[in-house]
Structure 1
Amino acid sequence: MMEERVEIRLSGSGGQGLILAGIILAEAAILDGKNAVQSQSYGPEARGGASRAEVVISNDEIDYPKVTKPQVILALTNEALNKFKDNLAPDGIIIIDSSVKKADTPYKIVQLPIIETARDRIGRSMVANIVAVGVITALTKVVSREAVERAILKRVPKGTEELNKKALYAGYELVNQLT
């Protein structure tokens, strides 16, 4: 899927770790020798309010750092899906959690149990963001597995490295089960 420029929008609610997920994807791109820009915005009430992280990854120089027509949208809440589902590149993909009600949209939607996997398989719902990073990496190949793993190990709190690696691999497995 790696075009010259790939735009990714991660959306959900505050506290889901989407800002960290965006930072990890951007850092992985840089580790892969690409250019990346990451930006974020929070709703008025950070935890529980709307949250959005955006990443632009490019093989070339990034002349405009904002996401305008993302190729990938991750929506972990109904609110996030409804807000962003109509602003996608024509060949784009929307990744939603299984708790999110599918919306009527002409775009390809991939629905996976991201939050449930983090909670039930890994035992910590707080790593849903890392499960999501695994899903995005496996579906799009926008960054290499090696780079994303290195970025995660660099960014997660000390002592949680194994937990987060498990979450990343669980995200890959969710995508492998699709095929």
Structure 2
Amino acid sequence: MSNTTVSTAKNPRLEIRIAGAGGQGIILAGIMLAEAGIIQDLYVAQSQSYGPETRGGNSISEVILSNTVIDFPQSTELDVLIALTQVACDKNLPDMKDAGLVIVDSDAVRRVLWEKIISIPFGEIARKVGEERAINVAALGSLVPFCPLINRRVLTRAIASRLPSAKLEANLQAFDKALQFASRLKDRLKYAGATEEFEI
């Protein structure tokens, strides 16, 4: 099995895109991830885009983390895509690096044509902790086992700085549950054939 991490000393630039629908906290997730990178003294670039709809439209947040100067602050080939809807997955797969990792919400994404993929029930995790809007923080938790550049403690610190205290405990529970889920899947990545669609 190929290496299951996506950032190493040989590849210091890590391009991450979080994509989903308006109302899922996509933009906030990108901001929290970028702030974690800043706390770690990494070079960081963060950008976002979203449709005109307040809820339900397409929403994208990109974060580039690097331990060297970022000479081009836009993604060229994604190392990681987190897709929280089927539409987001379909639209953003063409921007992936060949060996990139796709992380999808198994509640929403059912069909994916890709080789290196993990499926995590982010929506279910958020519901079980009693905070459906924690889906974005759960998604951030899934990054930690695969991305050595991302420090768990620092990321939770960035999350805590952006959330109201009444919501924090449930969100951190969702974060930890998704992190644990991703850790279990790390050595069992699912692979699709080169010419067939993978059904989760």
Provide structure 2 residue ranges, at least 5 long, that are not aligned to the other structure.
1-5, 188-200
Q: How big is the shift at 1:159?
A: 2.4
Q: How big is the shift at 1:142?
A: 2.9
Give 1:154's match in structure 2, choosing from 142, 150, 161: 161
What SS does structure 2 have at the residue aligned with 1:63? coil
Aligned pair 1:176/2:183, yes or no?
yes
Deviation per residue, 1:31-88 (Å, 9 max, x gap) = 1110111110011213110000000101111121111211000110010011011221
> Is 160-169 or 146-155 further displaced after alignment?
160-169
Contact 2:17 2:78 in 1 (8 A): yes
Aligned pair 1:48/2:56, yes or no?
yes
**What does 1:114-125 correspond to in 2, within 5 Å?**
114-120=122-128, 122-125=129-132
TM (norm. structure 2) is 0.84
Aligned pair 1:101/2:110, yes or no?
yes
In structure 1, C-alpha distance between the alignment counterparts of 2:161 and 2:41, rounded to whole Å: 17
Letter in 2 for 1:46: T
Deviation per residue, 1:115-169 (Å, 9 max, x gap) = 111112x111100100000001222233101110110111112322212221211
What is the aligned length? 177
In structure 1, C-alpha distance between the alignment counterparts of 2:158 and 2:140, rounded to whole Å: 11
Give 1:89's match in structure 2, choosing from 97, 107, 114: 97
Give 1:134's match in structure 2, choosing from 141, 156, 161: 141
In structure 2, C-alpha distance between the alignment counterparts of 1:115 and 1:126, rounded to whole Å: 9
Provide structure 1 residue ranges, at least 5 long, that are not aligned to the other structure.
none
**Which consecutive segments of 4 or more residues in structure 1 shift more than 6 A?**
none
In structure 1, C-alpha distance between the alignment counterparts of 2:45 and 2:86, rounded to whole Å: 26
Aligned-pair Cα RMSD in Å: 1.3
What SS does structure 1 have at the residue aligned with 2:144? helix
What SS does structure 2 have at the residue aligned with 1:45? coil
Identity of aligned residues (%): 40
1:24 match: 32
In structure 2, C-alpha distance between the alignment counterparts of 1:103 and 1:118, rounded to whole Å: 23
In structure 1, C-alpha distance between the alignment counterparts of 2:117 and 2:171, rounded to whole Å: 25
Contact 2:131 2:171 in 1 (8 A): no
Letter in 2 for 1:117: I
